[in-house]
């Protein structure tokens, strides 16, 4: 499997990246780890006349941890797993990263690629929606910010313009209990269903909850109603079933080789119940 021919660019800075993007528009794409893009190019499902490699661009590799957490677009899943400060401040990041692909892919796969690609199977978009993250995009007119919850429009369609590059993700240090629960056919697979849950506990009751689902629609699904169904409850079975019912009202899975629609809805419910239980037990 040999991809179509392309011209390769490896700029040293973002100005260089933007210059190539402006010159070639839709004919140019940036490549980070390449583990989504290269397989598509090899299958000739993606034809990229100008490939812009971000590996030499400075300033995209850092993780900063404080009340606010920022992660550069070129930070890999391997980096996330190994970063102790991040693992202690936002443990859901490590828990989710460990469930992405396999070790070789995690050395290459980046946060920026995972969130900007727009593949409904990617795990980070749902996770970013759960954490209410903000994405930074850089384009010819400068920087702008977009909420993760507003970024995804359809499969592979996002708010990012052709001439923009996603440079970092940012979110407030998450509070309370967490869980990233993922059902997959085998290790390395995309989710049949996955749930990202953060729950804040106040005494015996749930103060607030944030719930997002992966690979159950053509975008990640932040289910505000599912989180609201837990708030103010003791997260008993009735509350969990209300949250599951709310989530099922928000997702819209399609039949594919991971199963028929009924199965996916069943798996989504099971996964969310498990995720809520685990997040609550850690809250």
Partner 1 sequence: MAKKMHIKLTVNGQEEEFLAEPRELLIHTLRERLNITGPHIGCETSHCGACTVTVNGKSVKSCTMFVAQADGADVTTIEGLGSPDNLHVLQRAFKENHGLQCGFCTPGMITRASKLLEENPNPTEEEVRFGMAGNLCRCTGYQNIVKSILAAAAELNSAKEAAE
Sort strands 177-183 and 193-202 into parallel, antiparallel or unpaired: antiparallel
Residue 148 touches partner 1, criterion: CB under 8 A: no
Q: At what angle do helices 237-250 and 261-282 cross, to 10 degrees?
A: 140
Q: Is 119 exposed, middle or buried (0-12, 13-18, 19+ CB in 10 A)?
A: middle
Number of residues that bind partner 1 (CB under 8 A): 29
Residue 104 touches partner 1, criterion: CB under 8 A: yes
Segment contacting partner 1 (CB under 8 A): 3-11, 157-165, 190-198, 205-213?
3-11
Question: What is the per-residue burial (b if ≥16 Cβ within 10 Å, else e) of 173-193?
Answer: ebebbbbbbbbbeeeeebbbb
Q: Quick one: which of 107, 161, 242, 282 contacts partner 1 (CB under 8 A)?
A: 107
**Four-residue CA torsion sign, 45, 49, 53, 59:** negative
Residue 261 to residue 136: CA distance in whole angstroms: 35
Pick 6 or 156: Cβ nearer partner 1: 6
- According to CB under 8 A, which residues from 176 to 215 bind partner 1? 187-188
Residue 249 touches partner 1, criterion: CB under 8 A: no
Question: Which two structure tokens, joined as six digits, stand for 274?
Answer: 């498990």
Contact predicate 13/35, CB 8 Å: no
Would you give the binding string for partner 1 spanning residues 11-40, x where CB under 8 A is met? Answer: --------------------x--xx--xx-
Q: Quick one: which of 22, 25, 42, 64 contacts partner 1 (CB under 8 A)?
A: 42
- According to CB under 8 A, which residues from 69 to 98 bind partner 1? 78
Residue 108 touches partner 1, criterion: CB under 8 A: yes
Judged by the rule CB under 8 A, the positions of this chain that interact with partner 1 are 1-8, 10, 31, 34-35, 38-39, 41-42, 51, 53, 55, 78, 101-105, 107-108, 187-188
């Amino acid at each position: 499997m040999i991809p179509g021919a392309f011209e390769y660019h490896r700029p040293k800075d973002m100005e260089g990246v933007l210059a190539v993007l402006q010159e070639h528009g839709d004919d140019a794409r940036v490549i980070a780890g390449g583990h989504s893009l290269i397989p598509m190019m090899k299958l000739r499902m993606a034809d990229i006349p100008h490939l812009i490699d971000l590996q030499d661009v400075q300033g995209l590799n850092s993780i900063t941890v404080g009340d606010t957490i920022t992660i550069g677009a070129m930070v890999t899943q391997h980096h996330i797993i190994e970063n102790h400060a991040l693992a202690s401040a936002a443990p859901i990041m490590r828990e989710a990263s460990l469930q992405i692909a396999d070790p070789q892919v995690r050395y290459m796969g980046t946060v920026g690629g995972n969130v900007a690609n727009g593949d409904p199977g990617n795990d980070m978009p749902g996770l970013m929606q759960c954490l209410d993250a903000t994405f930074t995009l850089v384009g010819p007119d400068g920087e702008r910010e977009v909420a993760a919850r507003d970024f995804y429009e359809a499969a592979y369609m996002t708010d990012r313009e052709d001439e923009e590059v996603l440079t970092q993700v940012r979110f407030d240090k998450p509070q309370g209990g967490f869980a990233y629960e993922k059902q997959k056919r085998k290790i390395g697979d995309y989710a049949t269903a996955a749930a990202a849950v953060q729950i804040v506990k106040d005494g015996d009751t749930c103060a607030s909850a944030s719930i997002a689902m992966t690979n159950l629609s053509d975008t990640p699904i932040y289910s505000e109603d599912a989180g609201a169904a837990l708030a103010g409850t003791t997260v008993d079975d009735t509350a969990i079933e209300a949250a599951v019912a709310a989530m099922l009202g928000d997702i819209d899975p399609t039949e594919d080789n991971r199963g028929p629609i009924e199965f996916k809805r069943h798996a989504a419910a099971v996964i969310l119940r498990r995720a809520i239980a685990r997040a609550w037990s850690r809250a």
